[in-house]
């Protein structure tokens, strides 16, 4: 297992200006704050990042913006998946060019009736197009959103075909048994549950860490659970993390996280999301920000 692919890798929320443009400065500042709060690295341009609502050029630029403020490439794992093989290859190659710790690769998700041969051909095409500049690849399994997923048979086939390139799986199935099965079947891979609700069980089984949306507002809490999962108070840390996730997800995860970040950073523009998502309405935002669990997290991130 690659030692750098361990710990907490928040799927970093993407800030947008009021005109809808990517706010590079706020993105970089938030990334630095998450690292200061204990994150091992940053999984930018994923689902929580609204990555699929950004153009290829914007995603390319987001990677560079993080590098330009001194965030090391080795602490970046950008999402590079796309339904278009050429777009996925271009972003994956850029991640390799800059020396990123890895690339988080979705399957091409538009066509649903595809088999493992088609998905294998897609990954093969991405790797070949990188022309020797391919970064370590983390397969991103999120069937609740993508429907199309990486089967266990396909993961094994990809590992055999591309040893040292396929290095892990982010499992956002939401199924603890599925995650635990991957950990057991692929001890050579870094397996990350995509939320923290069963993180303690996964860590005990050998999970590498966590890639969770709520790390945007609870990086210190989740990273502490990862660091201290063997301690006597680990169960209590787990319960606290579950409670924070429940509070954040009750009104829609991404708009809720952005509402909390808007309050935390004193910047109303953090509420902005890209269509088809919409920001929380004022009443929902007020209720969220009044939740004692959310209030308690107010000082967690330091800009």
Domains and CATH numbers, the chain: 7-217 (3.20.20.70)
Query: N- to C-terminal Cα distance for the chain?
Result: 32
For position 132, what pLDDT does the model report? 87
Q: Indicate if the pLDDT at residue 81 is higher than 80.
A: yes
For position 206, what pLDDT does the model report? 98
13: tokens are 């929320």
Alpha-carbon gap, residue 157 to 186, rounded angstroms: 12
Q: pLDDT averaged over the chain? A: 95
Q: Indicate if the pLDDT at residue 1 is higher than 80.
A: no
* Per-residue pLDDT tens digits for 108-150: 999 999 999 999 999 999 999 998 899 999 999 999 999 999 9
Alpha-carbon gap, residue 214 to 123, rounded angstroms: 29
For position 4, what pLDDT does the model report? 72
Residue 81 near residue 88 (C-beta atoms within 8 A): yes
For position 148, what pLDDT does the model report? 97
Which contiguous run of DSSP H or E holds residue 234? helix 234-249
* Catalytic center residues: 47, 110, 140, 170
Confidence of residue 303 (pLDDT cuts 50, 70, 90): very low
For position 159, what pLDDT does the model report? 98
* Per-residue pLDDT tens digits for 251-280: 999 999 999 999 999 999 999 999 999 999
- E runs forming strands in 53-165: 103-105, 137-141
Confidence of residue 172 (pLDDT cuts 50, 70, 90): very high
Q: For residue 45, what are the contacts with CB-CB under 8 A and spacing of at least 6?
A: 14, 51, 54, 59, 62, 63, 78, 79, 80, 104
Alpha-carbon gap, residue 70 to 211, rounded angstroms: 22
Residue 201 has a CB neighbour count (10 Å cut-off) of: 16
Alpha-carbon gap, residue 139 to 141, rounded angstroms: 6
* Per-residue pLDDT tens digits for 178-233: 999 999 999 999 999 999 999 999 999 999 999 999 999 999 999 999 999 999 99
Alpha-carbon gap, residue 126 to 119, rounded angstroms: 11
Work out the angle at residue 223's Cα, subtended by the Cα atoms of residues 266 and 4, and round it to the nearest 5 degrees: 110
Alpha-carbon gap, residue 123 to 158, rounded angstroms: 8
Q: Is 76 helix (H, G, I), strand (E, B) or coil?
A: strand
Determine the average pLDDT of the residues in 233-261. 97
Using a pLDDT cut of 90, give the percent of the chain over it.
95
Work out the angle at residue 75's Cα, subtended by the Cα atoms of residues 155 and 51, and round it to the nearest 5 degrees: 65
163: tokens are 């040893």
| Among the listed residues 224, 259, 195, 238, the one whose alpha carbon sits nearest the alpha carbon of residue 10 | 195
275: tokens are 């269509």
- E runs forming strands in the chain: 7-8, 103-105, 137-141, 166-171, 190-193, 209-210
For position 193, what pLDDT does the model report? 98
Determine the average pLDDT of the residues in 32-54. 97
Using a pLDDT cut of 70, give the percent of the chain over it.
97
For position 298, what pLDDT does the model report? 74
190: tokens are 């870094």
Alpha-carbon gap, residue 71 to 115, rounded angstroms: 38
Cα–Cα distances in Å, from 288 out to 38, 122, 149, 258? Answer: 25, 41, 33, 11
Q: Indicate if the pLDDT at residue 296 is higher than 70.
A: yes
């Amino acid at each position: 297992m690659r030692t750098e692919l361990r710990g907490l890798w928040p799927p970093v929320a993407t800030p947008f200006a009021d005109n809808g443009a990517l706010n590079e400065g706020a993105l970089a500042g938030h990334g630095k704050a998450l690292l200061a709060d204990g994150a091992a690295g940053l999984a930018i341009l994923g689902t929580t990042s609204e990555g699929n609502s950004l153009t290829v050029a914007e995603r390319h630029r987001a990677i560079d913006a993080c590098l330009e403020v001194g965030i090391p490439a080795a602490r970046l794992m950008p999402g590079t998946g796309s339904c278009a093989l050429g777009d996925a290859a271009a972003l994956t190659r850029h991640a390799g060019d800059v020396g990123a710790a890895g690339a988080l690769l979705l399957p091409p998700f538009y066509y649903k009736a595809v088999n493992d041969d088609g998905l294998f051909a897609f990954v093969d095409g991405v790797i070949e197009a990188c022309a020797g500049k391919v970064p370590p690849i983390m397969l991103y399994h999120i069937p609740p959103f993508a429907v199309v997923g990486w089967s266990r048979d396909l993961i094994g086939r990809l590992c055999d075909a591309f040893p040292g390139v396929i290095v892990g799986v982010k499992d956002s199935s939401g199924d603890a048994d599925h995650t635990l099965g991957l950990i057991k079947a692929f001890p050579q891979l870094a397996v990350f549950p995509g939320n923290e609700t069963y993180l303690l069980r996964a860590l005990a089984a050998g999970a590498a860490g966590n890639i969770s949306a709520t790390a945007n507002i609870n990086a210190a809490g989740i990273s502490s659970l990862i660091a201290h999962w063997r301690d006597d108070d680990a169960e209590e840390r787990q319960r606290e993390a579950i409670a924070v996730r429940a509070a954040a997800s009750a009104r829609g995860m991404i708009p809720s996280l952005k509402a909390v970040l808007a309050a935390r950073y004193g910047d109303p523009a953090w509420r902005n999301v890209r269509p088809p998502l919409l920001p929380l309405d004022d009443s929902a935002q007020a209720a969220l920000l009044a939740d004692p669990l959310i209030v308690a997290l107010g000082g967690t991130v330091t800009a």
